[in-house]
Amino acid sequence: MQRAGTNRADEALKLAEAPERPGPLEPEGVALFLDLDGVLAPIVARPEEVRPEAARTRLMQALQAALGGRLAVISGRTIADLDRILDGAVASLAGVHGLERRLGHGPIWRAEPSPAVAGAKAAFEAIARAWPGAVVEEKGVSVGIHYRAAPGALADVREVVERLTPADDLVAQWGQMVAELRTPGPDKGDALIAFMAEPPFAGSRPVFVGDDLTDEHGFAAAAAAGGFGVLVGPARPTAARMRLENVEAVFDWLAAAVSRTGAA
């Protein structure tokens, strides 16, 4: 059964900035959980611009082998979009911040969408018409608006989020130049906990790598289960114990772990 979202991220933001670079990742006994945007792919203005890359696919395949299947991507994107971008290289996925989840190649569990998502979509589409460059991303159980290419839209986006969140029992999530209104339900930390209760993840030490505020749930859940989080990007108050500078540093860190196992 899926667990409702918690306030782990609120608690995490009271902590100090992640102070140090992680040491070498030893795959033995580790379960690895990765965000996608900002971790495995650079942040772009339009989400559809992120496409499969052969080097990333090969790295994910090698990690899957090195970790004995204890690899999952937990992202704000849908599972269908993750499969597209990752070329099907990662079997276990959680999408829409935990509102859908797939263990291995099994069936997809998906939360029942709130009827209020349709109204949020209409409100965001009105903003996109008024601000060229803003992009609406509809995910069934949630809807987001990316305004990196239209930063002037922020005030309108904030007004819609503040108006619809309490009225329609939607959950607001802010990211890097993106706002999302989603069906209430599991978050990224809940997805990690659910994976950790099942083979092949059970009994291992979780490591969660993410870049955004929505990843704080994953950092806190990993720490609570005896592992740790790795923040990607500039230092900030976080529940992550370690930090990597950018996507390139993540790839180097993961590739080094693969090379030590001979799985590359």
Determine which one of 10, 35, 81, 187 is catalytic: 35
* CATH of range 8-110+185-261; options 3.90.245.10, 3.30.56.10, 3.40.50.1000, 3.10.180.10: 3.40.50.1000
Q: What pLDDT score does 11 carry?
A: 46
Strand 171-175: give its sheet, edge to edge: 135-138, 142-146, 178-182, 171-175
Residue type, 235: A
Mean pLDDT estimate for the chain: 91
Active site residue 168: no
Reported as a single tens digit per residue, the pLDDT across 66-97 is 999 999 999 999 999 999 999 999 999 999 99
How many whole angstroms separate alpha carbon 194 and alpha carbon 235? Answer: 28
Side-chain half-sphere CA neighbours of 63 within 13 A: 30
Question: Can you tell me the mean pLDDT for 229-257?
Answer: 95
- Asked if pLDDT for residue 235 goes beyond 50, the answer is yes
Non-local (6+) Cβ contacts of 181 within 8 A are 116, 117, 120, 124, 142, 143, 144, 161, 164, 165, 170, 171, 172, 173
Task: Supply the DSSP symbol for 179.
Answer: E
Reported as a single tens digit per residue, the pLDDT across 194-210 is 999 999 999 999 999 99
Q: Judge: domain 116-182, CATH 3.30.70.
A: yes
Residue 74: C-alpha distances to residues 78, 97, 149, 184, 201 (Å):
10, 7, 25, 17, 14
- Asked if pLDDT for residue 48 goes beyond 50, the answer is yes
Domains in the chain: boundaries:
8-110+185-261, 116-182
